Structure 1
Amino acid sequence: MTTVIGFIGLGHMGGPMAANLAAAGHRVRGFDLVPEALATATAAGVEATGSAREAAAGADVVITMLPAGRHVLALYQDEGLLAAARPGTLFVDCSTIDVTDARAAHAATTAAGHRALDAPVSGGVVGAEAATLTFMAGGGEAEFHEAEPLLAAMGKRAVHCGGAGAGQAAKICNNMILGISMIAVSEAFVLGESLGLSHQALYDVASTASGQCWALTANCPVPGPVPTSPANRDYRPGFAAPLMAKDLGLAANALRAGGIDAGLGLRAAEMYTAFAEGSGAAQDFSGIVHALRAAAEAPKGTTPA
């Protein structure tokens, strides 16, 4: 059955997601502040609208994919998105934002007479284009089941994680595991290099032993062992380092707010922030191996550039 969808945020992630919904036979009315993004989405079957409010008016479901929680809350309330939608509209926010902001967005949505689901994604731009994303959803069971056919058109799996904000909680916990794992795998390769161990030899052992993990076998941080990893494409992003820094920053905020002593999570956030603000700004997050290698090679008492 065709669903009328208002889709706001048609960038590298939102654009392909909206296109996949249109390809599945849904009517998608989209908006983005960047004209080029809107034009690309229009070429892929999305109907262009002149504003976010126009995209939401008359829609059965409104999906947002925005950079941060402040953008979601401003759009919902200050810019009148909630007021523009007809009563009972289902709002699905696929942005990755702070858990507190996600819960505030839920509260604002229900107070305006609508229904809400937070559904951040994992899988990056490649997953958005291939419709293989994983969705982590927070909200009511009924809202999740209503959204499931749309999530299935954009991804391969959707997990209902609990109530309001639970999707965001699952996302930041998962990416904290990933960020820490990538640092550990990268450090192991740098150590192996210093000991005269080839990348392939270390991979052949660790990939079939207790060191096996996704950061090694799918996104290996050195060229060679995994031909499809970004390391073999000059570290062009699958999942960009600034996005990992953002997600780990959200995790760090939650750790501090909860008084949780998680030294590895906080340190990983610091390391990715420094990497993303420096040489890793345009690299895949696996490129952090360069920063670790530079640190290992730097004379003691100095800081690598």
Structure 2
Amino acid sequence: MTTTLAFIGLGHMGGPMAANLVRAGHRVLGHDLVESCLAAAVESGVERAGSAAEAAAMADVVITMLPAGRHVLSLYGPEGLLAAARPGTLFVDCSTIDVADSRAAHTAAEAAGHRSLDAPVSGGVVGAEAGTLTFMAGGEEAAFAEAEPLLTVMGKKAVHCGAAGAGQAAKICNNMILGVSMIAVSEAFVLAESLGLSDQALFDVASAASGQCWALTVNCPVPGPVPGSPANRDYRPGFAAPLMAKDLGLAANAVRAGGVDAELGLRAAELYARFAEGSGADQDFSGIVRAIRAASTTADAEKGATP
């Protein structure tokens, strides 16, 4: 069935997601503050809306894909999307934001007479373009059932994780695993290099042994073993390091608020924050192997200089 959708936020992730909805036969009204993003979406069949509120006013479902919680809450404010939309509109927020902000967005939508779902994604730009994202959703079961056909157009899997905010909780837990594992895989490759073991040899062993993980077999941080990984494209982002730093920062906030003993998660947040603010600002998150290698070289040089 064709649905009229408003899609707010047409950047690296939102643009391809909206394009997949158009290809599936839906009418998509789009808006983005960045003209180049909006223009690219229009080329893929998205209809240009004069404002986010204008798009929401004509839509059956409003999808948002925004950088941070403050952007979502601002658009959900008294003069924004919730006021413009028809009563009972379904709001699906695919942004990755703080759990508390997500729950506040749910509360605002409900108070305005709408239904809502938080549905952050995993899979990066490659997954958005290919329509193979995984959605982690939080909200009422009925809202998830209505949104699921749209989510499965944009992705290969949609999981209802529980009540409001549960999708965000699942996302930050998943990405804490991913961040820690990418650091571990990167450290292992740097160690292997120092021991004279080739990247391919380590990959051939670990990918078929207990070291196997997504960070190794899909997003391998060194060139060669996995031709499709960003390492073979000079670490051009699939999932950018600043986004990983953001997600790990959200996880770290939740760790501290919950009193959880998560030493590796907190350390990963520190390492990615430093990497994203420096050389990793425009790199894929797997590029952290470069920072580990550079720090290891510096440490070796300092050790050799000690009398």
- The answer to whether 1:12 aligns with 2:12 is yes
Gaps of 5+ in 1: none
Report the counterpart of residue 102 of structure 1 in structure 2.
102
**Equivalent position of 2:241 in the other structure:** 241
Deviations 1:166-188 (A, max 9, x none): 00000000000000000000001
Counterpart Cα distance in 1 of 2:36 and 2:200:
42
Partner of 1:2: 2
SS in 1 for 2:239: coil
Q: Does 1:132 align with 2:132?
A: yes
Distance 1:139 1:301 in 2: 54
Verify: 1:271 aligned to 2:271, yes or no. yes
Q: Per-residue CA shift, 1:56-91, capped at 9, x if unaligned?
A: 003110000000000000011154210000110000
C-alpha separation between the residues in 2 aligned to 1:200 and 1:30? 45
Question: Where in structure 1 do 4 or more consecutive aligned residues deviate above 2 Å?
Answer: 299-302
- Counterpart for residue 305 of structure 2: none
The SS at the match of 2:28 is strand
Q: What is the rounded CA distance, in whole Å, between the counterparts of 1:36 and 1:199 in structure 2?
A: 39
Task: Give the structure 2 partner of residue 81 of structure 1.
Answer: 81
What is the TM-score with the length of structure 2 in the denominator? 0.96
- Structure 1 residue 102: Cα displacement: 0.3
Determine if the alignment matches structure 1 residue 183 to structure 2 residue 178: no
The two structures have a TM-score, normalised by structure 1, of 0.97
Which residue is equivalent to 1:165? 165
Per the TM alignment, residue 284 of structure 1 is displaced from its structure 2 partner at its CA by: 0.7
Give 3-state SS (helix, strand or coil) of 1:211's partner: coil
Give the match's secondary structure for 1:88: coil
1:60 is aligned with what amino acid? Answer: D
The CA distance in 2 between the partners of 1:299 and 1:220, in whole Å, is 24
Is 1:24 aligned to residue 24 of structure 2?
yes
The aligned amino acid for 1:211 is G
* Paired position in structure 1 for 2:224: 224
Distance 1:79 1:70 in 2: 15
* Pairwise CA distance, 1:300: 7.1
1 CA distance for matches of 2:133 and 2:181?
Answer: 20
CA distance in 2, matches of 1:253, 1:192: 34
The one-letter amino acid of 2:34's match is V
The residue aligned with 2:48 is 48
Query: What is the distance in 2 between the residues matched to 1:42 and 1:233?
Result: 28
Q: Percent identity?
A: 81
Deviation at 1:43, TM superposition (A): 1.1
User: 1:35 maps to what in 2?
Assistant: 35
- Structure 2 gap segments, 5+ residues each: 303-307
Number of residues of Structure 1 aligned to a counterpart in Structure 2: 302
2:22 corresponds to which letter in structure 1? A
Deviation per CA, 1:252-284: give whole Å up to 9, x if none. Answer: 010011111100000000000000000011111
Q: Secondary structure at the match of 1:298?
A: helix
